[in-house]
Amino acid sequence: MAKVESELILPSTKVSSADYTNAAVIDIEPSESLPVPKCNGNFYKRNASDVVAIARAAFRSYKTKSVEFRRQQLKNLLRMFDENAKDMEDALKKDLGRHRQEASTLDVEYGRNEILKALMHLDEWTKPETPSKPLVNTLDKIRIYSDPYGVVLIISSWNFPINLVFTPLAGAIAGGNCVIIKPSELAEATAQLIAGLVPKYLDKECYQVYLGDATETAELLKERFDYIFFTGSTTVARIVHAAANKYLTPVTLELGGKSPVFIDKSADMEISVRRILWGKCSNAGQVCIAPDYILCTKEVQENFVSIATKVLKEWYGDDAQSSPDYCRIISDRHYNRLMNFLKDKRNIVIGGKSDAASRFIEPTILVDVNPNDPIMQEEVFGPILPIVTIENPYEAINFINAREKPLVIYVFTKKKATKDLFASNTSSGGLSINETLFHFSVDTLPFGGVGFSGMGAYHGKNSFDTFVHKKGTFDRDFATVTEKSTSFRYPPYSEIKTSFINGVMRPRKAIVPYKYIKPFLIFCLGIIFVIIVQLIYCHVSDKHFF
């Protein structure tokens, strides 16, 4: 643990050991002190143990339990976006060659909007929930409290390095947690910017940035966290999950996979091609929910290619490399991986040009792709779109179901029966009909994968729920009527008692839903009150009630 240089006085908590690994018992004593390691300006360059120790001590100080503290931190975070949006866009340009429109709409503004959403609903989200209760618990108080997990680790990916840090961070702050932020080292300019901005706007002990590559991340994962939120590849997710298992730490894994697109001939092809290509070409295809491959008939394939040729020329001109609207591949390693898919040029009908020096790969479409080809064995994560031909939607569904569950399935059709067919007979993180990427922006939809495409979900209220433990509470008074009504549980036991208890506990469908009972009782009491007042009035004035 970091050297203790200051103390925070707590009213009621004594932690007997500084080593959280062995801290199983907390003694409650008045006016005890808790050591807090002191932060300095270079706090995010400390070793992993020091960073986590600072956050652990800050969480034990209980300051993040205050809803007002959380609100102020979210306001500070929002101000950070307002004052530094241009710097964020510039960093994204350096890392990914991203145009301002993509940088703003897909990265910066999305993160900002998640913060706004958390601020708008903070009181509502943090308020204890009152669930329905069975008849046997009519006299009891039932509540669900949203408790923060504690010290949370957020490991972000490089492809949307602003969005994928601050969207989960907003939920973690709203939930009352302390957070260690690990940006991706591949988006170096953005990571350095985040490391510089966060301590200027947020509490330096509760929210820390930890920079480094795979070695530093491995050191960080040796520490004990209360929750881990990871965005990245399935390969690294296995490492993260294994590290979390040591302490049974709950995790959210936001991964990817091969998200298929099915198109039938009923779809509006002009619109469909534009929407699919936009989803594929945004950020040069480096999007976890980018269309990975297309399933369609030969007829639809020919129509798609014909329209795609015109659309890509309209968007990027004759030379996509000179277009200011087209991104670059993040690193040489990823560039070389993608180029391996283009070694066999027989299937290329559009694109195929590249430039290693600038890590440019032209939007490329492959036709008549064999399911056993290398490009169909892993997530593409780049601007290459293979087309596999099938005969009908049933064959497409069988093709999808024979593989790992994708993060999203895209279906382009006007037929309700086909939409229902995919909704009922496939399993994926999400299902998007006649559009790509946009489902990510709907904060009332949970966003997450299933199986190899991830576990857990976030966005909007789901982000808050991800970073809190739902603690059920049961509160019963000592009133005589309460005790008498539950005394059948005590010995000596009998058949009559058993029958009575089983009968009372048996679930029954309420004649009036529970949420309406209280208003109904208030209404009835109101009527009774009016009748009593009328009776008193009639008695005093010697008038008849009717």
> Catalytic residue numbers?
254, 288
Q: Which residues of 301-336 are buried (b: 16+ CB within 10 A; e: fewer)?
A: bebbeebbeebbeebbeeebeeeeebbbbbeeebbe
Q: CA dihedral defined by 373, 448, 167, 260, rounded to 10 degrees? A: 30
Query: ∠ at Cα 194 (458, 67), nearest 5°?
Result: 55
Residue bearing tokens 């997450």:
448
Q: What is the C-alpha to C-alpha distance for residues 411 and 431, in angstroms, rounded to an integer?
A: 8
Q: Which two tokens stand for residue 153?
A: 């680790």
Q: Which two tokens stand for residue 114?
A: 């998640």
Residue bearing tokens 């009621």:
12
CA 199, 202, 206, 212 torsion-angle sign: negative
CA 433, 314, 347, 286 torsion-angle sign: negative
Bridge-based pairing of strands 260-263 and 251-254 is unpaired
Strands (E), 163-214: 178-182, 207-209
Q: What is the C-alpha to C-alpha distance for residues 477 and 471, in angstroms, rounded to an integer?
A: 20
Residue bearing tokens 């940006």:
183
Residue bearing tokens 């960093």:
91
CB 316 within 8 A of CB 323: yes
CB-CB neighbours of 537 under 10 Å? 11
From residue 248, alpha-carbon distances to 68, 124, 226, 239 in Å are 31, 30, 9, 14
From residue 325, alpha-carbon distances to 168, 352, 493 in Å are 28, 18, 78
Alpha helical stretches, state H, 253-407:
269-281, 298-316, 332-340, 393-401
Bridge-based pairing of strands 32-37 and 4-10 is antiparallel
Q: Which two tokens stand for residue 268?
A: 């509006």
Q: Which two tokens stand for residue 218?
A: 């491995």
CB 330 within 8 A of CB 159: yes
* CB within 8 Å of 506: residues ≥ 6 apart: none
Q: At what angle do helices 214-221 and 234-245 cross, to 10 degrees?
A: 30
CB 394 within 8 A of CB 366: no
Strands (E), 390-480: 408-412, 430-433, 454-455, 468-475
CB 448 within 8 A of CB 427: no
Find the length of the chain. Answer: 546
